[in-house]
Structures are given as structure tokens and as C-alpha cells.
Amino acid sequence: KAWYPGHVQKAKRQIRENLKKIDIVVIVLDARAPVATTSFEMKIFKDKQRVFLLNKTDLADSEYNKKWACEIAKLYPTLLVNKDTNRKELLTFLKSIPTKYANPRIAVVGVPNVGKSTIINKILGRHKAKTGAQPGITRGVQWVNVEGFTVLDSPGILFSEIFSKDIAAKLLLIGSLPIENVDDEIFDYAFKIYASAAGVQKDIVQFLEEYGRSRGLLKKGGQVDYEKAKTLFFKEVSEGKHGRLTYDTEFEKFWEVLKNG
Ligand code: GTP
């Protein structure tokens, strides 16, 4: 798609090259949007043992977290995690994955900003975070031996293939789409999804008017600077500053997207 940053093709090539050597694919989803974050070309992993980490559970609705974990666990090893999950729990989960390999090679993959680097750092027991808040900035390839695994020390960045307005809007809400690449139609749609999940009654114009004013985001004449208000608001939403919200709530859609991807 036109909004893809320049290094996307390179990232895709890297994944394909490394894929041949991988035994277990750890797919990181954002617990707020398990469907939208599964909307990538899943068939490249069809011969691999796949497991799911539902990450950023601290930003999602706790009841939905449990429901999603139960649902996905019907077919795949699944673990609810967040940045405070301890390393031991993560390693115990990895060790529980059925595999025929003595020293399985593991790759951590997912769409931008779901927390891949944070998880790799944790698996490797690396405290100094090598993460970036900008979607899609992680690079470099290296294998590291740790606790009976060989881990690819480079997140596999995946990009949505089944692209729809709904998916784009949810990726925006979780910070997986760079704001500058989003048009007003998607902003409006994303706001509706947010408002519905958060129980907000206002429309985007009313809301940004009040929000912009309360934050002092004003133009010279005293009118609200909508561009600034919009940018700040969606950034805050993606960081969980407007509540713990789960945007994807339909389980059947997950399986549909997984099958079609
Ligand atoms: P890309 O390099 O863009 O593909 O990102 P990534 O998937 O490697 O994500 P990364 O680990 O860089 O995390 C993205 C942002 O989310 C960082 O600001 C992290 O601190 C934050 N983050 C990661 N995991 C969690 C979590 O469980 N909860 C919260 N609240 N924030 C998290």
C-alpha cells in the first residue's frame, strides 16, 4: 500500500530469508485488537509451529483479555503478557510448546509497535531496552542461544495484507500506523470505534473542540488547532491514556482473518 514506509520491502525479504531456519513462530498480537494485529500474510507460517502472545494486556479490557486467550488457546498455545510479565513466566511458556526440535529456533513476529522488541529483550534477559516507539524502526539480524532455544534477535515486522477501513482504524488506535499516513476518513472511523468502546457520546468535531481547548491547543485567533488536537489525542489513546479498551470483540473474525491471511 502507498503508505508503507520505504524499509517495508526489506523487512519482508528479511523475514522470508530467516523463515526457512525457524521452528517456532511467536506471533505477538495487541490484546486491544487481536483481529487487526493478525491481519498479515499468515500463510508464510503455515508449516511452522505457531504460538500467540496477547501483549499490552495492561491497556486492554481485562475481561476481554481472558476471553481472547481462551478463544485462541483452542487451537494454539497462547499467553497473556504485558511489559510487567516476568521472564520466568515467558520462558516457562516457551518451554511448554510442543516441538520435535531439541534446540528450537524461535522468531518473534508481529505488526509494528505490538511490543516485539520488548519481548525479545525479556526472553534474552536483556534489561537495557532496545525498543523504539516509532512503528517499524527495529532492524538487524542475529541468533542468540538462551535457555535451550536459539532466538532470532530481530523482530519480524509484518504488514497487514487484508486491508480494510476497520483494520486501519484499529491499527491507528493501538499506535501501529504512523499518524501522518492516515486520512480523515480513517480518523473519523477510528474515533467512532474509540467512542463506542469508551462510551463517549460526542462526535469527533465536538470532542476535539473540547479536548483541544482543555489542552490549550489553540491557533493564533483562539480557535482549536484540530490537527494538533487530533495528533495528540490519538497518540494518547494508543498509549492507553484514555482507558483500558478492547476494540476487537468478535472471535469469529479472528479465525476468518487467520484462515484468509
Ligand atoms: P516496532 O519496532 O515498531 O515493530 O515495535 P515493536 O513491536 O518491537 O514494539 P516495542 O517493543 O518497540 O514496543 C513499542 C512501544 O510499546 C514501546 O514504547 C514499549 O515501551 C511499549 N510497550 C511494549 N509492551 C508493552 C506493554 O505490555 N504495555 C504497555 N503499556 N506498553 C508496552
- Which ligand 1 atom is nearest residue 114's CA? 7
Beta strands in 99-192 (DSSP E): 105-110, 143-146, 149-152, 156-157
Protein residues with CB under 6 Å of any ligand 1 atom: 55-56, 58-59, 82-83, 110, 112-118, 131-133, 135-138, 155, 157, 240
**Strand 143-146 versus strand 105-110 pairing type:** unpaired
pLDDT of residue 136: 47
In CATH, the number for domain 8-162 is 3.40.50.300
Nearest to 152 by CA among 108, 189, 184: 108
Looking at the predicted structure, is the pLDDT value of residue 63 above 50?
yes
Write down the ipTM of this complex.
Answer: 0.98
Cα(100) to centroid(ligand 1), Å: 31
Domain boundaries, the chain: 8-162, 165-238
* Average predicted confidence (pLDDT) for the chain: 89
The predicted-structure confidence for 195-212, as pLDDT tens digits, reads as follows: 999 999 999 999 999 999
In ligand 1, which atom is closest to the CA atom of 85?
A: 27
User: In the prediction, which pLDDT does 133 show?
Assistant: 45
| Phi/psi at 117 (5° precision) | -65, -40
CATH class of 165-238: mainly alpha
Give CA torsion, residues 20, 258, 234, 122, to 10 deg. -40
Distance CA(147)–CA(88), nearest Å, equals: 11
Gap from CA of 58 to ligand 1 centroid (Å):
12
Domains 8-162 and 165-238 share a fold: no
Of residues 20, 33, 5, the one with CA closest to residue 171: 33
In the 3-class helix/strand/coil scheme, how is 221-257 assigned residue by residue?
CCCECHHHHHHHHHHHHHCCCCCCCCCCCCHHHHHHH
Pocket residue to mutate for ligand 1, from 4, 27, 55, 118, most atoms within 8 A of Cβ: 118
